[in-house]
Amino acid sequence: MRLGVLLPAAALCAAPLLGQEDAGAGPDTITVEVNVVNLPVTVTDSGGKFVIDLDKSDFDVREDGESVEIRYFTRSVEEEKKPPLHTGFIVDLSNTARLYYKTYQESIGDLAWLLVPEGGKNKGFLFGYHTEVDELVDFTNDPITLTESMESLKHGGGSSMLDAIYRACRDKLASQPYQGASEPRKVIVVIGDGHDNASKHSIEEVIYEAQLHQVTIYAVSTVGWGFHDSSEENLVKLTRATGGRVVRPLQKVHKDIAGYLSKPQDAGNYQYEVGTGGYAAAQLSALYQAILAVAGNVQSQYILGYVPRKPFTDRTFRTIKVNVDLGAEIQLFHRRGYFPPSAAAN
């Protein structure tokens, strides 16, 4: 049993995978095999550490219950061999976000630097959502542009989170034509509490759009300790359906820290206040670990490419199941299925 682990560091430059050379073409001609499913998979152990030393033979991939052959395989540590990463940062700008955004501001900037390192092949864009959806930064490979925009966000209005994700998938992350094994990895990172009261699209429509364009959704929940927001379930549904995860940095930040006070108010309610002591340091540590968790999930991906048994000629959703048998408790993150690229093209 091999359980190598990796703590995420700054992202390396990524380069696209080339397809197979066409024997009938000239010596300098490279063709891309497009009838390929490009599947990022992250593996963690029971403690949440990333397992980084697996081989192709460790993975069993099944589409619609039938085993498929892995034709392309990139190890988690071979960042330079992975397809480029396209990341959409989607930030809550509603009135409720005004209270906590300063807490997250610097950490979100760190995440931009990790996933879109300066001078690399990866690129990202920035959306903000309130009653409407604002495109704040178009695709760029300059993390400074992203972080500077994050530092000057204005808040106010309702919340149209689902419309923001829908628009990001359809307008920014759709790929035409489909590139097969060299198709960019596509990620959305939502920073918010999951609340939505202004969107025109349903969560089912958003999940469909993400699965159609092979987008993985991650979420940094801004719900603080001592509070419960049923809307956070939206983040859970979106991430589970697309192979991502939710991190909740503020849920246990003060568990062992003196100075976080609760005061009884009218009608038995409680108001939570940050006192003195180690709370601030614990909060920063929790945010830092949350950012590393999201970045690590992306940076520690294995890339599995396979040719499906059925060609891309229909619009039917196809389920994907990945198994890794290491004789130990592990957790796999990958999307649950996809729609053939032919469906996206029509």
Q: Tell me, what's the pLDDT at 262?
A: 46
Least-confidence region, from 92-96, 97-101, 159-163, 333-337: 97-101
Which CATH number is 85-252's, of 3.30.565.10, 3.90.1150.10, 3.40.190.10, 3.40.50.410? 3.40.50.410
Q: Minimal CA–CA distance to 302: which of 18, 88, 93, 60?
A: 60
**Per-residue pLDDT tens digits for 48-62:** 999 999 999 999 999
Q: Which phi and psi (to 5°) does residue 225 adopt? A: -65, 140
Please determine, for residue 230, whether its predicted confidence score (pLDDT) is greater than 90: no
What's the confidence (pLDDT) of residue 83?
Answer: 95
Contacts of 36 (CB under 8 A, 6+ apart): 71, 72, 180, 181, 305, 306, 307
pTM of the model: 0.83
Q: Check residues 271 and 130 and name the one with the higher pLDDT.
A: 130
Q: What is the pLDDT of residue 343?
A: 66
User: Which residue has tokens 């864009």?
Assistant: 125
Q: What is the pLDDT of residue 219?
A: 95
Question: 220 near 191, Cβ under 8 Å?
Answer: yes
- Residue 200 phi/psi, 5° resolution? -90, -20
CA gap 19, 332 in Å, rounded: 27
Condensed to tens digits (0 to 9), the pLDDT of residues 111-165 reads 999 999 998 999 999 999 999 999 999 999 999 999 999 988 988 999 999 999 9
What is the bridge-based pairing of β-strands 337-338 and 318-324? antiparallel
The radius of gyration of the chain from alpha carbons, rounded to an integer in Å, stands at 21
Mean pLDDT of 63-76: 97
- Specify whether the CB–CB gap between 306 and 37 falls below 8 A: yes
Question: Is residue 266 pLDDT above 70, yes or no?
Answer: no
pLDDT at residue 342 in the model: 74
Write down the pLDDT at residue 113: 95
**Residue 242 to residue 40: CA distance in whole angstroms:** 11
Confidence of residue 259 (pLDDT cuts 50, 70, 90): very low
Q: How far is CA 118 from the centre of its chain?
A: 20
Q: Which of 61-65, 100-104, 175-179, 307-311 has the lowest mean pLDDT?
A: 100-104
pLDDT at 25: 42
Quote the pLDDT of residue 346.
Answer: 60
Residue-wise burial string across 232-261, b where 16 or more C-beta atoms lie within 10 A, e elsewhere: bebbebbbbbbbbbbbbbbeebbeebeebe
Which residues are CB-neighbours of 113 under 8 A, at least 6 positions away? 10, 143, 147
| Integer Cα distance of 172 and 211 in angstroms | 14
Residues 306 and 179 sit within 8 Å (Cβ to Cβ): no
Strand 133-140 vs strand 123-129: parallel, antiparallel, or unpaired? antiparallel
> Sign of dihedral through CA atoms 61, 302, 242, 135?
negative
pLDDT surpasses 90 at 261: no
| pLDDT at 30 (0 to 100) | 44
The percent of residues above 70 in pLDDT, for the chain, comes to: 78
How do the domains of the chain map onto residue ranges? 34-82+302-345, 85-252
Q: Which residue has the higher pLDDT, 14 or 318?
A: 318
Residue 284 tokens read as: 């920063």
Our CA dihedral for 178, 212, 191, 292, rounded to 10 degrees, sits at -60
**Where is pLDDT greater, at 186 or 18?**
186
**Mean pLDDT, range 174-203, rounded to an integer:** 93
Given pLDDT bands bounded at 50, 70 and 90, which one contains residue 177?
A: confident
For residue range 292-339, list pLDDT tens digits in order.
Answer: 899 999 999 999 999 999 989 888 999 999 999 999 999 999 999 999
pLDDT surpasses 80 at 9? no
